[in-house]
Structure 1
Amino acid sequence: MTKQMFAVMASGLALMAATPALAQQGGSTVTAATTQGPILSFSVSEEVRSRPDQATVGAGVTTTAPTAVEAMRQNAAAMDKLIAAAKARGIKTEDIQTSGINLSPQYDYNNQTPGQPPRFLGYQVSNSVRATTPKIEDIGPLLDALVAAGGTNIEGPWFGMKDADAQLVGARGTAIKEAEAKAADYARLAGFRGVELVSISEGGSFASPPPPMPPMVRLQAMDAKATPVEPGQVSNTLTLSFQYRLVR
């Protein structure tokens, strides 16, 4: 065996000796985290409630005609009026988004003769958009304007925060302090001297986005009084997952 080959083997043995925290047992890996002390894992959640700074409403129209082409044409004309009404209330073009278009044949199943197909009525088109605005106080008048423009399918409003993560900055510090105290308490109760932080991971939930809009949510025409809307508060939750090593 040459001196060069012996030197390479010796360096390899030295590297293995320098890393005793990693060993193979029955195909599994045991790391320093488990050989030096047990690992404590838990999560801490902090909820932040605040007044919303934006709201989204859904609106649409439904039209029926003898042919699919005519039903789509009538619906397009009605939707143009609806979108124009939203823009007239200050909604920007980039804050208006189509959320669903549905075209389907309609049949009359009443008094159907056995063995005969139902009576064909025509084609129905439902088209809806969602509009988002930071003007919370304008939601009621906006809904009224959409109905006055011909909107028959109204949904919402959904309230939320434009920058929900910014609301959680202070909550992170609170969660970490709570985790430190909890980990120290576990260590004391288990007879350990203290703890060492191994890892932190973040999760959470923000104010829910709007769900898919049902195709047939009807709202009758309103009187002269503006529709009252109360935004209340929205909840944003921060969840931090911690791992601590218990130290003797």
Structure 2
Amino acid sequence: MKLAAFALCTAALGAAIPVAAMAQTSVNIADQGPVVTLNVTESVEAAPDVVNVGTGVETRAPTAKQAMADNAQQMTALIAALSKAGIAKKDIQTSGVRLNAQFDYSPRNPDGTQAPPKFIGYEASNQLSVTLRDVKKVGDLLDRMVEAGATTISGPNFAIDDPAPLLVQARGAALKSARAQADFYAQAAGYRSARLLSISESNSGGNPPMPMMVRSFKADAAASTPIEPGQVSASVTLTVQYALEK
């Protein structure tokens, strides 16, 4: 009887234990392979098909009103010359108007000390940004500017009007280069493959370096100005991440 009671108690105790408490759960988490981050830049070059030139007029006079009036007269003549040269109105844009008082800081007192600056008048400046869509005519355009009264010239700044096709080529080359590098690192480090995780892009749409400022005057315009357009490039930089997998 006692044996039967013990067996019954054991059975009852077993029945009281929840089934879940007796189960065994095993979770396996795959090891995360290293992540390779690559910064790849590729460029595609082409002949420029558009050029930007800065030009303008500076005038000086004893009064601000006279300086501005003289400047307006010369600038009107310059704009007319550009229009006559075939430059569309949309491609001529004012980039800055400036009026400054001018002082001479060189005078000195009899004892050698610095004398107060001497007022000498006003300087007015009006600057234009001109887009030329015939690269072969850049030299001729510069000469016409000077002949029309331009006293400052900056540029030329060569570019590609629509860099999108070049960017597509550069983008494809950059991604191909990144893939090759990722595969190399995977094999060199003993991994089976490289899996693409992310791509981010920055690009330069064929914008050349900042142009150098050149000052020109009528007396310097006897010879035709030679201009060499060379090549400009469109660049794409990709930041690409690959996970190396066993």
| Alignment TM-score, normalising by the size of structure 1 | 0.79
Pairwise CA distance, 1:116: 4.9
Note if 1:189 corresponds to 2:188. yes
Amino acid corresponding to residue 73 of structure 1 in structure 2: A
- Kindly tell me: are residues 188 and 84 of structure 1, through their superposed partners in 2, closer, same or farther at Cα, counting changes over 3 Å? same
Structure 1 residue aligned with 2:235: 237
Equivalent residue of 1:76, what SS? Answer: helix
Q: Considering only CA atoms, is the larger Rg found in Structure 1 or Structure 2? A: 2
Note if 1:39 corresponds to 2:2. no
Structure 2 residue aligned with 1:218: 215
- Kindly tell me: are residues 174 and 109 of structure 1, through their superposed partners in 2, closer, same or farther at Cα, counting changes over 3 Å? closer
Note if 1:100 corresponds to 2:90. no
Pairwise CA distance, 1:171: 2.2
Pairwise CA distance, 1:224: 4.8
Q: Distance in 1 between matches of 2:59 and 2:52?
A: 24
Equivalent residue of 1:90, what SS? Answer: coil
Structure 1 residue aligned with 2:60: 64
Q: Structure 1: 5+ residue runs without aligned partners? A: 1-19, 22-31
Pairwise CA distance, 1:165: 2.6
Pairwise CA distance, 1:210: 7.5
* RMSD across aligned positions (CA): 2.3
Where has structure 1 moved over 6 Å in runs of 4 or more?
none
Q: Give yes or no for contact 2:147–2:221 (8 Å, CA) kept in 1.
A: no
Q: Give yes or no for contact 1:43–1:241 (8 Å, CA) kept in 2.
A: yes
Stretch of structure 1 that moved more, 91-100 or 163-172: 163-172
Q: Map 1:62-211 onto structure 2 (within 5 A).
A: 62-113=58-109, 114=113, 116-208=115-207, 211=210
Q: Distance in 2 between matches of 1:145 and 1:218?
A: 14
Pairwise CA distance, 1:169: 1.3
Amino acid corresponding to residue 220 of structure 1 in structure 2: F
Equivalent residue of 2:217, what SS? Answer: coil
Structure 2 residue aligned with 1:16: none
Indicate the percent of aligned positions where both proteins have the same amino acid: 47
Q: Structure 2: 5+ residue runs without aligned partners? A: 1-27
Q: Distance in 1 between matches of 2:71 and 2:209?
A: 23
- Kindly tell me: are residues 239 and 108 of structure 1, through their superposed partners in 2, closer, same or farther at Cα, counting changes over 3 Å? same
Structure 1 residue aligned with 2:3: none
Q: How many residues align?
A: 215
Q: Distance in 1 between matches of 2:245 and 2:90?
A: 55
Q: Give yes or no for contact 2:170–2:234 (8 Å, CA) kept in 1.
A: no
Equivalent residue of 2:87, what SS? Answer: coil
Structure 1 residue aligned with 2:19: none
Q: Distance in 2 between matches of 1:48 and 1:149?
A: 38
Pairwise CA distance, 1:180: 1.5
Structure 2 residue aligned with 1:13: none
Describe the superposition over 1:44-94 as per-residue Cα deviations: whole angstroms up to 9, x where unpaired: 211111100000111111111111111111111111111111111111111
Q: Distance in 1 between matches of 2:209 and 2:80?
A: 22
